[in-house]
Structure 1
Amino acid sequence: MTTPTFEHLNVTTLADWLEAARPLTLVDIRDPASFAAGHLPDSQHLDNDGVPALLAEADRRQPLVVVCYHGNSSQQAAAWLAGQGFEEVYSLDGGFSDWSARYPERVAEGAPGGG
């Protein structure tokens, strides 16, 4: 039996997917204040309290992209989520810091929602 795993995703590919309106689930695991200050459009804040809802509600056949600050913590979260039955899990390389540097016009603001 193979161990569930995740793949790395660069911000350029994610931008292309979002532009093409590819169905996917975006979760941001940064702290609530950082999320509120700026996040990827249509992403939902995910913390330990929100995990049960994500597991209950998300389509596990749809790609799931995990975002953190720099692309490090998201790898652990992505590996764990892959083990929860999500078929296609990605960790965003460079994280939100790379996204916001390359696409400052594509940063949403507001309090954490979703989850």
Structure 2
Amino acid sequence: MTPSFEHLDPTTLAQWLSERRPLQLVDIRDPLSFAQGHILGSRHLDNTTVAELVDKTPSDTPVVVVCYHGHSSQQAASWLAGQGFDEVYSLDGGFVDWAHRRPDSVER
């Protein structure tokens, strides 16, 4: 069975964040793009930080993966699901769509 992830729409993520639902929000864009703006509460994830995420995040913590447009996050989400996380999501539309819809939820 292939580990699977689910698609998450921006409205649902915004609701989860406003409810302060426990989740791990990870952004896989390049470091400069992340530094220029990211969803409040997200952490940058790359090849150097992914091992720590996998080691230190409980497997029952929902993980939401963010990229530019919601494409490469699907591969990353699938990989993370394979690392044993129970709930993994790929944010539809990515950061670009999120920043367009919810500029007040972007940390710059």
How far apart are the structure 1 equivalents of 2:58 and 2:68? 25
Q: Distance in 2 between matches of 1:29 and 1:99?
A: 15
Q: Which amino acid aligns with 2:9?
A: N
Task: Report the secondary structure of 2:83's partner residue.
Answer: coil
For each residue in 1:20-48, what CA deviation from the matched residue of structure 2 results, as whole angstroms up to 9, or x when unmatched?
A: 11000000000000000000111000000
Structure-2 residue corresponding to 1:113: none
1:78 aligns with 2:49: no
Q: 4+ runs of 1 displaced by more than 4 Å?
A: none
Equivalent runs, 1:4-15 vs 2, <5 Å: 4-15=3-14
Instruction: Determine whether 1:63 maps to 2:66.
Output: no
1:32 alignment partner in structure 2: 31
Cα distance in 2 between the residues matched to 1:60 and 1:95: 23
Alignment length (residue pairs): 108
Corresponding residue of 1:112 = none
Name structure 2 gaps, 5 residues minimum.
Answer: none
Structure 1 stretches lacking a partner, 5+ long: 110-115
Letter in structure 2 aligned against 1:62: T
Residue 95 of structure 1: aligned partner: 94
User: Helix, strand or coil for the counterpart of 1:66?
Assistant: strand
TM-score (norm 1): 0.92
What TM-score does the superposition give when structure 2 sets the normalisation length? Answer: 0.98
Among all aligned residue pairs of Structure 1 and Structure 2, give the percentage whose two residues are the same amino acid: 64
* Cα distance in 2 between the residues matched to 1:18 and 1:60: 19
Deviations 1:74-104 (A, max 9, x none): 0000000000000000000000001000000
SS of the equivalent of 1:48 reads coil
Deviation at 1:62, TM superposition (A): 1.1
Greater fraction of residues in strand: 2
Of 55-64 and 65-74, deviating more is: 55-64
Secondary structure, in 3 states, of the residue corresponding to 2:38?
coil
CA distance in 2, matches of 1:3, 1:45: 26
- Deviation of the 1:59 alpha carbon: 1.6
Residue 107 of structure 2 aligns to a residue whose secondary structure is coil
